[in-house]
Chains A and B, each alone.
Chain A
């Protein structure tokens, strides 16, 4: 049997490694986090907010328990009582056992979906505290292999799938030909590196590799509007797995690339593909990682297309999408991102029969694919198991099509579809809009 590199690394940890980790932990804490780490009253009301707990009923999946794994270290090293009477307030030394539990619980039982944060009686941002602890593990080299590899690939190759520039350009060229045929217009194009374009559009590299139709759909919408836009030949990746590994430095490097491309191409807007964590990363977190106020607008493609529809720049015919359609709300886009109504607006105008899941919007359940779960094969079985909640939610709607504005979620749904025999068709919102376009 192959040795688990993480286990080997844990076994080799020395006291000085823990001391260093505690120092890094302190560096990661600001006053908001410090207050939050002191706020949990252990009421346990957060239990049912977590899809892991709802499915597994495992006490280790309780949000309050996961948070306690972080607070116990904070209290032990940074509070008076934690130093004097640690057991009394549940404080504990940072040691190998705690590290093992951090990896299992904070990486393996949390998708950073923010539902516990939304439902916490005290209002504690459990999500970002868990991410902070992940960041400490990242500096110790203890991020589960698959997730770290995704970050490393993005840092080394410029995108998380390691797509070469030539392959990317070839894909765009092929999609452009398809668009020209589809529109019966040899002038229809998918521009790359067009200086002075108003919009820089980014994609999830998975689209280029496995789901080119979603790129084609956006190209078709831009064509219908006559938008001034461009791809970047170098920096086209909207994803940022630094959000999930907790590594702010790596996350900053990835976000900086997009900023650089916007500036070099002279664009006014950075438009982000249907990617939940990519949206949260680049819209909300990147300016904080880079400590930089952006001088250009950052929007989701959903917000932009909803603007087109409102302004009458596109016309839609819902009869072109007759199947009963429901919508999944990706956590990073909706609950943590604030893009809530636009996708509904678009779908109600694009499909004949739209039905909501229950619960929905910011209260929606995570599908289980976020938080880097899809990249961490060691937790794959657990991820599929807790995805049952989402599968049941979809089945209850009786929908034949699920619109999913996030490629991480799409990957998870594809597995859930197979595993739970959901028999659903999976599409992005823009694919559905493009199908309904009246050109």
Chain B
């Protein structure tokens, strides 16, 4: 399997992204974690299960329930991003995507673009979002949108691999520098969330009277 110059670039960018993220994680963990002394009331593990299961459902989380289009948009946007990466890496291994799988890819990528652009429009048009946004937020959104658009175009038209590879490299290199780094921090934050509320037995409890 002979890789092109840009494909080597993707692998190198992937290495840089992972390496930088590892450094970032190491730096974060260097702050240290204090062992908790208070007697737990519930199990941290239950909280973690809740955080990644029931706790992700819109009816369990008011912020999602009140912003259902954004919540659904976020899901498809991220699905589009992951699909685009998957598509690029299948290409690296010369694994062709065709037939129904290709159609599924195109639908997910299409929805990803739709919601990605929608979220961008929301960010620039809603004053509360502008208030909390910085250039990184807009840049990350635009970069990912372009990436998904190019992936979709490549599935439909073909022949734009070099452009897709280039934007893949840019996205990968930007990952540890900007907000896309939440690809790691999301999981860690949700674990901490689950541990906190699981330990204190706040979430996912049955509304039983008496002893909770």
Quick check: which of A33-41, A208-216, A227-235, A393-401 contacts chain B, the rest being far away?
A33-41
Per a CB cutoff under 8 Å, which of A45, A306, A310 touches B67? Answer: A45
Is A407 an interface residue, CB under 8 A from the partner? no
> Could you tell me how many residues of chain B have their Cβ less than 8 Å away from some Cβ of chain A?
63
**Complex contacts, A118 vs chain B, CB 8 Å:** 197, 203
Of residues 115 to 161 in B, which have CB atoms within 8 Å of A's CB atoms?
126-129, 131-137, 139
Is B98 an interface residue, CB under 8 A from the partner? no
- Closest chain B residue to A283, Cβ basis: B38
B36 near A39: Cβ-Cβ < 8 Å: no
Complex alpha-carbon distance, A286 and B131, angstroms: 36
B185 near A29: Cβ-Cβ < 8 Å: no
Is A287 an interface residue, CB under 8 A from the partner? yes
A36 near B63: Cβ-Cβ < 8 Å: no
Over the window 92-132 of chain B, the binary record of Cβ atoms lying under 8 Å from chain A Cβ atoms (1 yes, 0 no) is 00000000000000000000000000000000001111011
Of residues 44 to 97 in A, which have CB atoms within 8 Å of B's CB atoms?
44-49, 59, 62, 64-65, 68, 80-81, 87-90
Per a CB cutoff under 8 Å, which of A65, A284, A310 touches B132? Answer: A65
Per a CB cutoff under 8 Å, which of B61, B64, B192 touches A35? Answer: B192
Is A119 an interface residue, CB under 8 A from the partner? yes
**Complex contacts, A283 vs chain B, CB 8 Å:** 38
Complex alpha-carbon distance, A336 and B197, angstroms: 8
Is A32 an interface residue, CB under 8 A from the partner? yes
A122 near B186: Cβ-Cβ < 8 Å: yes
Report B112 CB to chain A, min CB distance, Å.
Answer: 16
Is B173 an interface residue, CB under 8 A from the partner? no
A293 near B31: Cβ-Cβ < 8 Å: no
B209 near A30: Cβ-Cβ < 8 Å: no
Chain A residues in contact with chain B, CB under 8 A? 29-36, 38-39, 41-49, 59, 62, 64-65, 68, 80-81, 87-90, 117-125, 283-288, 290-294, 297-298, 306, 309-310, 334-342, 344-345, 348, 359, 361-363
Given contacts A39-B189, A285-B38, A342-B212, 20 further A-B contacts (CB under 8 A): A30-B34, A31-B28, A31-B29, A31-B33, A33-B31, A38-B185, A39-B186, A42-B132, A42-B137, A43-B70, A49-B62, A59-B131, A65-B132, A125-B196, A288-B36, A293-B37, A298-B39, A341-B211, A342-B210, A361-B207
Pairs of residues from A and B, 10 with the lowest C-beta to C-beta distance, nearest first: A123-B193, A90-B134, A287-B37, A338-B200, A45-B63, A119-B63, A345-B209, A39-B185, A287-B38, A59-B131
